[in-house]
Structure 1
Amino acid sequence: MNKLTHSINFLKNWIIYNKMFIFYQSLHLCTSGCILLSGLLIIRLFTKILYNIFIVKKIDPIAIGFISNILKYLITIFVIVSTLSNMGVQTSSIIAAFGTIGLVIGLAWQSALSNLASGLLIITFRTFKIGDYINVCNNIIGQVTKVEIFSTRVKTFDGIIIAIPNGKILADNITNLSQCHEYRNKITLGLSRILISEDLNIIKKILLDTIYLDQRIIKNSKITIILDEITNISINITIFFWINDFIYKKEICSDLTNIIKQNLELYKNSCVLWINNN
């Protein structure tokens, strides 16, 4: 009991003799907290205002997200350093430490810095924009949903979101499918040689009429029918045609494949041995 009383008295005396120190430290702590909270609120408000300005100026959405993120991180670092400085921490040593840490991180994260530089190049040269359909990195096909500092997010036709490092995108060929307005497709089929060997001209007319009647085919575009091979049992034909809708490419080709088969079977039953649209 005496020890407890002694400790309480010691604490009271320490507070009395150091009340000014405690007051100033509490004041610094409160001020630092206000700076930190105000800074975070300002960052959120600033990025929102900046985003709206970019939208009004019709700046590319890719640049909006990229620049906003960089500015947000820079201002956040400034706010943290200001808060520590207000608390009495020597910021010069912190800045020097940041420089050393930055050098170490730069050496260790070369790939990350490469992705950052690649992101800047994507924005600068506008290889693609948000909403474009691209084919990159070993046949990853999808719609660009977001370009971040280190990676680009692509939504595939299966609904999967893939984050691709920016460095990998620029290191490989980039096919921007949205910049094209004409896409060539093909359908191959094998017909019974016994049943249609004498009717090739009629078969060709059926194929041309079937494709031309489809409203999704580009009007006045060239349709090419090639006789690929004649075997003992089949006559193999390839049809090339043009469409302007990449998104529904598979559906269009699938529909045409079924219609072509139906029309040929109406002309001569069982004449189609095989047909595909790969």
Structure 2
Amino acid sequence: MNELINELGAYAPLIINVVKAFTFLIIGYLVAGMAGRIVRNRLSRIRRFDQTLVSFASSMVRWLILAFVGIAVLQLFGFQATSLVAVLGAASLAIGLALQGTLSDVASGVMLIIFRHYKMGDYVDIGGTAGTIKDINLFVTEMATPDNVQIIMPNSKAWGSIVTNYSAHPVRRCDLVFGIDYDDDMDKAMQVLLDLANADERVHQEPAPWVRVTNLGDSSVDLTVRLWCAAADYWELKFAFIKATKEAFDANNISIPYPHQVEVLKEAKGEAQQG
């Protein structure tokens, strides 16, 4: 029994350090999460502070605290901070190769914050994936599609892809094409479209609405309408204008033709000769 007690006593410092390390990790994890939320809440109250920077700053604070907790835990087991720096310096090549993807995401996240290709709330298309920006942190960009599906994209991919930002400018141009029958009065149809544009308060008068004949199709004369509006009104204006055009064309006896197909039946040579 004494030998067992003595043997357990020899491992007592290690057991104590393990308990301390486990306790530090739990407390550090909770503190890091709490600190990140505090930073997010405090910065969110500052009106001039960009929400994109709020998310990035809170993520940075959280990960810094976790890094210090990790160093503190290692020191419990005899690793000194100077020794850790030396070890990390010697193993930097191996660590860089092993974590090159993660480190690339962090570097890309910093570049995205600096150059501001997009910010929170913007509707963007990144490399063919479209959605609204919900969050930008050290590693990933979170998006939500129009049907509210979550998309998680690594920052390195977002930085290296073509970004189309539909929310970057406050004003957008809405282009619509309408086909009319070849027998209809083109000038009358153009005036109907122009009157509809001038009657809608969402359409800007500078630049002024624009209507032109842009194509002579197989079964229709195509009229293109260009309208300038606030970016927030783009989709509602587009849907409403299409509906209003159909109603106005009907009221003015302007037809929207269906595609036509002409079938040519060729008789057999024998039948033709008999005829």
Residue of structure 2 equivalent to 1:5: none
1:28, distance to aligned residue in structure 2 (A): 4.0
Does the Cα contact within 8 Å between 2:190 and 2:223 map onto a contact in 1? no
Residue of structure 2 equivalent to 1:187: 176
Of the three residues 146, 149, 166, the one matched with 1:160 is 149
SS of 1:179's equivalent in the other structure is coil
Q: Does 1:147 align with 2:136?
A: yes
After superposition, the Cα gap between the structure-2 partners of 1:153 and 1:38, relative to the gap in structure 1 and judged at 3 Å, is closer
> d(CA) in 2 for partners of 1:236 and 1:32?
73
After superposition, the Cα gap between the structure-2 partners of 1:23 and 1:130, relative to the gap in structure 1 and judged at 3 Å, is same
Does the Cα contact within 8 Å between 1:228 and 1:238 map onto a contact in 2? yes
> Pairwise mapping of residues 213-232 of structure 1 onto structure 2 (< 5 A)?
213-230=199-216
CA deviations 1:176-204 (Å, max 9, x no partner) are: 3223122112221221122x2xx333222
Question: Structure 1 stretch 69-78 or stretch 201-210: which is displaced more?
Answer: 69-78
1:229, distance to aligned residue in structure 2 (A): 3.3
Residue of structure 1 equivalent to 2:115: 125
TM normalised by structure 1 equals 0.77
Q: Runs of 5+ in structure 1 lacking a partner?
A: 1-11
> d(CA) in 2 for partners of 1:42 and 1:255?
51
1:147, distance to aligned residue in structure 2 (A): 0.5
Q: Does 1:66 align with 2:50?
A: no
Question: Structure 1 stretch 231-240 or stretch 182-191: which is displaced more?
Answer: 231-240
CA deviations 1:27-55 (Å, max 9, x no partner) are: 44444444444433433343333334433
SS of 1:273's equivalent in the other structure is coil
SS of 1:203's equivalent in the other structure is helix
1:255, distance to aligned residue in structure 2 (A): 2.5
SS of 2:167's equivalent in the other structure is helix
> d(CA) in 2 for partners of 1:119 and 1:268?
57
> d(CA) in 2 for partners of 1:233 and 1:53?
62
SS of 2:152's equivalent in the other structure is strand
SS of 2:174's equivalent in the other structure is strand
Does the Cα contact within 8 Å between 1:193 and 1:232 map onto a contact in 2? no
Question: Structure 1 stretch 30-39 or stretch 64-73: which is displaced more?
Answer: 30-39
Q: Runs of 5+ in structure 2 lacking a partner?
A: 260-275
Q: Which amino acid aligns with 2:186?
A: L
Residue of structure 2 equivalent to 1:207: 193
> d(CA) in 1 for partners of 2:158 and 2:11?
56
Residue of structure 2 equivalent to 1:6: none
1:159, distance to aligned residue in structure 2 (A): 1.4
Q: Does 1:265 align with 2:232?
A: no
Question: Structure 1 stretch 118-127 or stretch 213-222: which is displaced more?
Answer: 213-222
Superposed CA RMSD: 3.1
Residue of structure 1 equivalent to 2:262: none
Q: Does 1:135 align with 2:125?
A: yes
